[in-house]
Amino acid sequence: MDLRHRFFRKGRPLRALVALGGAVLAFWAAQAVAQVPGAVHQFRVVGGLAGVSQYTRWEEPFWTRELPRISGGRFKAEIVPFDRAGVPGDEMLRLLQLGVVPFGTTLLGTLTGSFPQYTAPDLAGLNPDMASLKTSVAAFRPYLEKSLREEQGVELLALYVYPAQVVFCRKPMSALSDLAGRRVRVSSAAQADFIGALGAVPVHTAFAQVVSSMEAGSIDCAITGTMSGNALGLHAITTHLFSMPLNWGLALFAANKAAWNALPQDLRSLLRQELPRLEAAIWEESERDTAQGVACNSGTSACTVGRKGRMVVVTPSEQDDRRRQALFRDTVLPRWLQRCGQRCAETWNQTIGPARGLVAH
C-alpha cells in the first residue's frame, strides 16, 4: 500500500495523521541516532519526476552513487520519484512538516492550494528567460528559506528547475492569440490563469496523462518542458511548438527540521557542501535541455540526446512578449494575490517586485 492510501484514506482524521507522522519521525530519528561511528548511515529521499533527466542523470546518481563515494561509504540513500511513491504533490510540504517524509521534493506549482505564497518566483508569464528566473529566485530565496524554517519546520536544502515550460499543439499556431478557444493542458493555477486570459480552456492534467489525453482529443495543446515533452513522445503527435517559456517548473528539495537535525553533523556538513553543486548542475542541465528540447522536437542536427521530430518551432514575436507582460500584470499577479492575501503583496514588494520592476497593489 502506497503513502497516499496509508495516510490519506477517506475520512481519516487529521489528528491521526499528525500522530502517525510523529511516530514515523520518532522511529526514523531513533534509527539515525543509533548509528555508531564509522557505520553506514542510510536514509530515504523522495525525489523529482520519474523519467526526466533531472532525476535520472542527477538526483538518483547523486544519492545512490556519488554520496557513498564522497563519504567513503559512510552515507548512502535510497531515492524514489515522488510520482511513483504515491505521494500527492500538493501534500508533500505537509508530509515534510509531519516528518512522514523526512526528505522530499515538490514542485512549487503544486502548493497553490495550501501555500500559495511559495509559488511566487515561478508564476506563469513572469520569467521569459533563464536570466529573469535567476533574478526572481535570488530575490525570493531568503524569504523562502526563512519562512519554511520558522513557519513550517522545514529546512530548504536546494531549489531545482525543469526546462522551460512551453506549448505543444496538434494544430498550427503562429502567436499566443491562436490559443483562444483551444483546450490546453496546464499543471498549476497560475498557468490556468494565463491560459484562461487568452480565451483558451485550461485543463489540469497529470504529467503521465498528457499523451493519452492528447491522443483521446480531450486536449488540443499541452504546456510542459521542452525536453520533458520530447521524452513523453509529444514530438510524434503534435505539430507546432511555441517556444516562449511560460514558466520553468521550480521544485524545492527540503527536509523535516527534526529529521535534518537528527543527521550526524558530518553528514549535514557534507550535504550543505554538495547539494549546492547538485543544484547548480541541475540548473545548467535545465538550460541545456531547454535548447535540446527545441532542437530535438524540430529534428535539427543540434539534437544529440532526445528523439527527433518534425515540429514547427514558432518563435514569439515582440507583440507576443507584450501580451505576456500584460497578461502577467493584469491577470496572473492579481489572481495570485487574491489567493494569497495582503501579506503576499507585502512579501512580493519586498522581494521579487523591486528586482523585476513589478509592484503589487
Average pLDDT over residues 75-99: 89
Residues 73 and 219 in one domain: no
Which of 191, 28, 177 is CA-nearest to residue 119?
A: 191
pLDDT at res. 84 = 87
6 versus 205: the higher-pLDDT residue is 205
DSSP string of 141-182, one letter each residue: HHHHHHHIIIII-EEEEEEEEPSPEEEEESS--SSGGGGTT-
| Alpha-carbon 247 to chain mean position | 10
The answer to the question of residue 41 being in a domain is yes
Average pLDDT over residues 6-14: 38
Percent of the chain with pLDDT over 90: 80
**And the C-alpha cell for 345?**
503583496
CB 134 within 8 A of CB 355: no
Residues 272 and 330 in one domain: no
Domains held by the chain: number? 2
Residues 275 and 320 in one domain: no
Mean pLDDT lowest among 14-18, 97-101, 196-200: 14-18
**And the C-alpha cell for 348?**
512580493
**And the C-alpha cell for 208?**
503521465
The answer to the question of residue 361 being in a domain is no
CA-angle at 58, arms to 55 and 62, nearest 5° = 110
Q: Is the pLDDT of residue 276 over 80?
A: yes
**Containing structural domain, residue 181:** 165-248+293-356
pLDDT at res. 361 = 86
Average pLDDT over residues 312-334: 98
Residue 75's CB is within 10 A of a number of other CB atoms, namely: 21
Q: Is the pLDDT of residue 95 over 90?
A: yes
Question: What span, in angstroms and rounded, lies between the C-alpha atoms of 233 and 308?
Answer: 10
Question: What span, in angstroms and rounded, lies between the C-alpha atoms of 66 and 321?
Answer: 42
- Residue 304 dihedral angles phi and psi, to the nearest 5°: -125, -15
The answer to the question of residue 303 being in a domain is yes
Residues 233 and 350 in one domain: yes
Question: What span, in angstroms and rounded, lies between the C-alpha atoms of 256 and 25?
Answer: 9
**And the C-alpha cell for 245?**
517559456
pLDDT tier at 32 (50, 70, 90 boundaries)?
very low
Residues 196 and 52 in one domain: no
Residues 104 and 229 in one domain: no
Greatest Cα pair distance in the chain = 63
Q: pTM score, two decimals?
A: 0.86
pLDDT at res. 89 = 75
In 97-110, which positions are buried (b, 16+ CB within 10 angstroms) versus exposed (e)?
bbbbbbbbbbbbbb
CATH label of the domain that carries residue 299: 3.40.190.170
Q: Is the pLDDT of residue 14 over 90?
A: no
**CA dist 161 to 45, 125, 286, 288, Å?**
18, 16, 7, 12
Q: Is the pLDDT of residue 33 over 70?
A: no
Q: Is the pLDDT of residue 24 over 80?
A: no
Express each pLDDT in 184-240 by its tens digit. Answer: 999 999 999 999 999 999 999 988 899 999 999 999 999 999 998 999 999 999 999
Q: Which of 289, 311, 344 is the last residue of a domain?
A: 289
Containing H/E element for 207? none
Residues 178 and 227 in one domain: yes
Express each pLDDT in 302-318 by its tens digit. Answer: 999 999 999 999 999 99
pLDDT tier at 38 (50, 70, 90 boundaries)?
low
